[in-house]
Amino acid sequence: MSSSLVHINASSSSSTLFRKPKAISTRPISSHHHHYPTSNRWSSRFSVSCSSSYSEVNTTDKFATPPIDIVADVKTERVVVLGGNGFVGSAICKTAVSRGFEVISMSRSGRPSSSDSWVDQVTWIAGDVFYANWDDVLVGATAVVSTIGGFGNEEQMKRINGEANVVAVDAAQEYGVPKFILISVHDYNLPSFLLSSGYFTGKRKAESAVLSKYPNSGVVLRPGFIYGKRKVDGFELPLDLVGEPLEKFLNATKSFTGPLSSLPASDLLLAPPISVDDVALAAVNAIADDDFFGVFTIEQIKEAAANVRV
Ligand SMILES: NC(=O)c1ccc[n+]([C@@H]2O[C@H](COP(=O)([O-])OP(=O)(O)OC[C@H]3O[C@@H](n4cnc5c(N)ncnc54)[C@H](OP(=O)(O)O)[C@@H]3O)[C@@H](O)[C@H]2O)c1
């Protein structure tokens, strides 16, 4: 039990790598740090010929510019969102679609009932990570984002937060997918008996799998309470009515509450909530930016989102 705690702390401090994300649309053409199988780089080549109007009217001018051939690599992302019909997953799919990414979602229940227009732009696959036919899902993918996780009894929490994600990381690596992004959870300042619950041990196990299999590209986002509109059976639960004012209040009172944060479990009250849109923006930025990898805290997720918000 305590050994897993030691491990958690070690991984959270030593592996936190944060580089200021670049704007999504400015990804450099040749910024590939890794050698990916070519089948996974969805790039297309096009060439443009152009000549200046000056040269056309002054054909005898010795300075007339010859036609220029421009050859550019345009990479299109093909993103697999595991749990794309869930609360966080839908926000990620919607944001990814709006950036022009190709998006495939896999979850047990498949296509959601919502009639929002972005839903038609996602390919919905009904499948369970434990029994998936990965050929249908991962071939040609440039990134996997896993939102799989949840509550239940101890065994269920270990399985869904931990093992399900470990299986997904292994499969993604086997198929040569270059990037894996995990939606994990904030390292709450909880007493050790709570941190050793299946929920947290599952999350940390999944994080370790991402960071060890994807040391130079894996992303672990650790949000606290996430607010936004959660759809349950067709109805919207307005979690933002609680989360947004709380986020503002905690920001405004930081100087008073700071000293309290060393008390055990104080993070439960003091860790700022974050909007589901910010989590989605950070995830989508992570997909597009090769320099964005490592473990991201609540503040770093917000910072990353702010950098790409339009
Ligand atoms: N919501 C928060 O405030 C919050 C805060 C911090 C961290 N997180 C973490 O963020 C992640 C997303 O949370 P959420 O609130 O969006 O949860 P959610 O709405 O329950 O979404 C979970 C998704 O995972 C899918 N899923 C579950 N088991 C699966 C399996 N075996 N195979 C394939 N898909 C499976 C679910 O769809 P099916 O049931 O159809 O399979 C669903 O789409 C979780 O890991 C959660 O722990 C959430």
Given a cut of 80, whether residue 43 has pLDDT beyond it is no
Q: Which residues line ligand 1 (CB under 6 A)?
A: 82-83, 85-89, 106-109, 128-130, 147-150, 160, 164, 183, 185, 223, 225-226
Task: Count the neighbouring beta carbons within 10 Å of the beta carbon of residue 36.
Answer: 15
**Coil/strand/helix, residue 231:** strand
Taking the CA of residue 186 as reference, the ligand 1 atom at the shortest distance is 6
Return the structure tokens found at 28: 């450099």
Residue 31 has pLDDT above 50, yes or no: no
- Residue pair 140/171 in contact (Cβ under 8 Å)? The answer is no
- Distant-in-sequence, close-in-space partners of 17: CB < 8 Å, separation ≥ 6: 293, 294, 295
Distance of CA 13 from the midpoint of ligand 1 (Å): 26
CA–centroid distance, 284 to ligand 1, in Å, is: 17
pLDDT class for 55, splitting at 50, 70, 90?
very low
Query: pTM for the complete prediction?
Result: 0.76
Tell me the average pLDDT across 273-280: 96
Highest averaged pLDDT of the listed ranges 27-36, 55-64, 165-174: 165-174
Instruction: Report the nearest atom of ligand 1 relative to the CA of 89.
Output: 16
Confidence of residue 92 (pLDDT cuts 50, 70, 90): very high
Residue closest to 96 by CA, chosen among 298, 277, 302, 295: 277
How is the chain split among helix, strand and coil, in percent rounded to 5?
Answer: 45, 20, 35
Pick from 226, 268, 296 the residue to mutate for probing ligand 1's pocket: most ligand atoms within 8 Å of its CB. 226
pLDDT band at 30 (very low <50, low <70, confident <90, very high): very low
87 Cα–ligand 1 center, Å: 7
The domains found in the chain, sorted by start residue, are 78-308 (3.40.50.720)
Average pLDDT over residues 217-245: 81
Neighbours of 89 (CB within 10 A): 25
15 pLDDT exceeds 90? no
CB-CB contact of 185 with 200 (8 Å): yes
Q: What is d(CA 63, CA 213) in angstroms, rounded to the nearest whole number?
A: 55
Q: How far does residue 128's CA lie from ligand 1's centre (Å)?
A: 12
Indicate whether 102 pLDDT > 90: yes
Ligand 1 nearest-atom number relative to CA 128: 32
The confidence band for 115, taking pLDDT boundaries of 50, 70 and 90, is confident
